Structure 1
Amino acid sequence: MASSGLQLLGFFLCMVGLAATVGATLMVEWKKQYQGKTHRIYEGLWMSCSGNERTTCELHQSLLKLPIEVQATRSVMMLSILLSSVALLVSTVGMKCTHFMDDKPDTKSITAMIGGLLFILSGLLTVIITSWYVSNIVHIFKASHRLESYEFGKAVFVSWAGGLLVIAGGAFLSCRRCSRSGSESISVNHLLPSSSSTSSSNPKSNYV
C-alpha cells in the first residue's frame, strides 16, 4: 500500500484534475471561428456564442441536431466525471489518513487501489475523447475552406490537463508497491537482531 503522503498527493492531483474536467465540460470554447477581424463564434458542448465585442450565448436546443463529435464528447465527459466522483468516494474510504476500515488493513489497501484505478480509467476517457474531438476538428479544417471552418479552443487544453492530472493522481493512489520495499527492510531489520541473538545464545548453551 502506498504511503500516506503519496496518497494525499495523488488525491490532491485527482481533485484538481476533476475540477479541470468539470470546468472544461462547461466551457463554451471547444471550437472557435473568426469571421473578419471582430466577429467571433464559439461552440461548446452545451451552448454556442457569437458576437463582436459582446457575445450572446444560446443553449443547444436539440441533441439530435448536434454534430456527432459534440454528442459523443458530451456523453463521455459526463461519464468521466461520474467515474471520478465514484472514485473520490472509494479513495476516501481506502486512504490511510481516514479511519474507515482500520480493523481491515488489507481490505482498506484494496479499496484505495480500486479508487485509483477508477481515477485512471476516468482520466483515460477524458484524454481519449478530447483527442478524438480534436482530430475531427483538424480533419474538417483540412478538408474544408480554412476561412469557414472551426479551430479547437481553450477548453481542449483544459480537458487534456484535467485528464492527465487525474491519471497521475490515480497512479499514486493505486500504487501498492511504493512503500513495500521500505516495510520489507524494516521487517528484515527486526529479524536480524533476533537471529543474531539466537546465534550468540547457541554457543553459550553448548558450554553449559
Structure 2
Amino acid sequence: MDPIVEVVAVLLGFIGWVMVGVALPNRYWRTSTVDGNVITTSTIYENLWMSCATDSTGVHNCREFPSLLNLSGYIQASRALMITSIVLGTFGLLAALIGVQCSKAGGEDYVLKGKIAGTAGVLFLLQGVCTMVAVSWYAFNITQDFFDPFYHGTRYEIGEGLYIGWCSAVLAIAGGACLTCSCKTGTKEKYPLPYQSRGTAYSGAAPTRSVANSTYGRNAYV
C-alpha cells in the first residue's frame, strides 16, 4: 500500500481518538432552555456524568449523578461504550505507529508490519463503531422524549458533545478502513524443480528412440 495513504489513515485515526477524548467529558450532550424573566431564564445541560444549570446572569451550578445504578440504562451503556472506544483507539494508535511502512519500530519485515497495520485498522473500526453506537443511542432517547406528547419531564435537545462524537466516529471508521486494506499476506516465490523446465517435464527413465527412424527417413523402407 502507498505509505502516504497509511500516514493519512493514521492521522484520521489519531484525530478521531482525540475527539473521543474531547466528547466524553463535554458537558453539552443535551441542552434545554427554561424561559422566564431576566433572572429565572436558565439553560440546563447534561452529559454522561453530571447535570448543570446556568442562569442569564452567568451563574452556573453542577451536580454529579448520585448513583450509577439509579441512571437510565442507555446512559450506563453509553459510558461503557465511550470508555471502550478510548481504550481501543489507544491500542490501535500504538499498533498503527508500529505497522506503517515509514516506521522503523517493527523492523524490515513488511509482511508482519502489514498485519500489524491491519490489526490497527480493525481496532480503529471498533473504536468508531463503539462511539457511533453510544452517541446515536443517546441522541435517539433525546428525540424520543422530545417528540413524545405524554412526556412531562424536561425536553432536551441534541448538544455539541454528540456532534463531536459523530465526527470522531466517522474519522475513526475512515482511518480504520484504509489501514485494514494494508494488511497483506506473504507469498513465497515458486521456483522450477531441477528436473523440470518450462512447459516440459522429464521422467527418470532415459528417453528411447528408434534407431531405424533416427538413421533412415520414412522413404528408406520399400
Instruction: Please tell me the TM-score bracket, short chain as reference.
Output: 0.7 to 0.9
Deviations 1:14-73 (A, max 9, x none): 111111111111101111111115311111111211120221222222111222221111
With over 3 angstroms needed to count, the CA separation of the structure-2 counterparts of 1:62 and 1:47, relative to structure 1, is: same
With over 3 angstroms needed to count, the CA separation of the structure-2 counterparts of 1:146 and 1:157, relative to structure 1, is: farther
1:82 equivalent in structure 2: 87
- The offset of 1:113, in angstroms, is 0.7
Name stretches of at least 5 consecutive residues in structure 2 with no aligned partner: 185-222
With over 3 angstroms needed to count, the CA separation of the structure-2 counterparts of 1:177 and 1:46, relative to structure 1, is: closer
1:16 equivalent in structure 2: 15
- The amino acid of 1:80's aligned partner reads S
**How many angstroms apart in 2 are the aligned matches of 1:68 and 1:50?**
23
Q: Does 2:70 match 1:65?
A: yes
**How many angstroms apart in 2 are the aligned matches of 1:92 and 1:112?**
8
Q: Larger Cα Rg: Structure 1 or Structure 2?
A: 2
- The offset of 1:99, in angstroms, is 0.7
Segment of structure 1 superposing worse, 49-58 or 152-161: 49-58
Aligned residues: 177
TM-score by length of 2: 0.75
TM-score by length of 1: 0.79
1:109 equivalent in structure 2: 114
**How many angstroms apart in 1 are the aligned matches of 2:93 and 2:175?**
11
Q: Does 2:159 match 1:153?
A: yes
**How many angstroms apart in 2 are the aligned matches of 1:73 and 1:8?**
30
- The amino acid of 1:10's aligned partner reads A
Q: Secondary structure at the match of 2:62?
A: strand
Name stretches of at least 5 consecutive residues in structure 1 with no aligned partner: 179-208
- The offset of 1:102, in angstroms, is 2.5
Q: What is the aligned counterpart of 2:169 among 163, 173, 184? A: 163
RMSD: 1.8
2:134 equivalent in structure 1: 129
Q: Which has the higher contact order (CA 8 A, sep 6+)?
A: 1
**How many angstroms apart in 2 are the aligned matches of 1:39 and 1:22?**
28
- The offset of 1:146, in angstroms, is 7.6
Aligned residues: percent identity?
Answer: 31
2:53 equivalent in structure 1: 50
- The offset of 1:140, in angstroms, is 1.3
Deviations 1:131-162 (A, max 9, x none): 11111111111114588311221111000001
**How many angstroms apart in 1 are the aligned matches of 2:92 and 2:178?**
13
Q: Does 2:33 match 1:40?
A: no
- The amino acid of 1:164's aligned partner reads V
Q: Secondary structure at the match of 1:32?
A: strand
> More helix per residue: 1 or 2?
1
Answer whether contact 2:27 2:47 (CA < 8 A) is retained: yes
- The offset of 1:115, in angstroms, is 0.3
With over 3 angstroms needed to count, the CA separation of the structure-2 counterparts of 1:56 and 1:4, relative to structure 1, is: same
**How many angstroms apart in 2 are the aligned matches of 1:59 and 1:129?**
20
Answer whether contact 2:114 2:183 (CA < 8 A) is retained: no
